[in-house]
Amino acid sequence: MSEKDSGTSNMDLLLIIFGSLALALGLLFFLVREDGTSPVNVAWLIPVFSILSFGLILLLGSYDSRRGGSIAVMGVGFSSVFSLGVAYDVLINDITHGGYIENTRIWFSWSDNAFEFGTYIDGLAGLLLLVVGFVSYLVVLFSLGYMSDEGDRQVRYFAEIALFVGVMLGLVVANSFLLMFIFWELVGVCSYLLIGFWYEKPSAASAAKKAFIVTRVGDVFLLLGLVILFNTFGTLRYSELFSNPELLSENAEAVKWATLCIFGGAVGKSAQFPLHV
């Protein structure tokens, strides 16, 4: 590549980066102004941007593999800007006043039942959005150079990393253990795909399978913990579980076992002792 082509390519990349960040900021301010309240009320869009970019990369990547990175930068950039907006409102403006803000949207319903997608934003969620949103965007930017010589493989990589970021952010803002578990499992799938990215190498394929099996062991414990909670309290929504300490105290034995099982899920996900294989 000539110096002129390299300069043009770098200029295009800078335009994509700063242009997408500016568009994301503009959209955030527009939505907040229209809603009249806070970025927290549009927090449900945080995982959506990255997950949508995953679909676009798969759709358009077959036509031009070089566009995968650009789409990932835009999608993850939008998610990161919205994440930082929510984090600022929670950590600096203290919009939750030490509590939480929950927004719920119904995906579909049947009879008297409904499957809800909601966001639960508190101080911990704000802190994690700050960390995950910022670091994820840096990872994608670094990957543009690191994966530049991979040709058509870039499509698969950037699709997987965009989905990974989306489901991680979805896990952070989820308002129930059920929704958290769905994103938790998708994080495991993305980890498997990324660890085994160079699947033709025996070491990479073996590492991916090992990671997948170990995390599934932990996920069995996590699922068991959620079953105990639902069987005891009839709900998996954070707001209904955490806002009633008296009810939790009355069912201390069930809470103890559910907590231990959920801890087992975390041990499996991070390959802690005794699953550090």
- pLDDT tens digits, one per residue of 9-36: 677 777 888 888 888 888 888 887 766 6
Cβ(124)–Cβ(174) below 8 Å: no
Ranges in the chain, pLDDT < 50: 1-8
- pLDDT value of position 270: 75
- pLDDT value of position 53: 95
- pLDDT value of position 243: 86
| Closest by CA position to 19, among listed 81, 90, 68, 64 | 81
- pLDDT value of position 254: 95
pTM of the model: 0.88
- pLDDT value of position 34: 64
- pLDDT value of position 2: 45
Element (H, E) at 110: strand 100-110
| Closest by CA position to 116, among listed 238, 224, 233 | 238
Q: Exposed/middle/buried for 277, CB within 10 Å: 0-12, 13-18, 19+? A: exposed
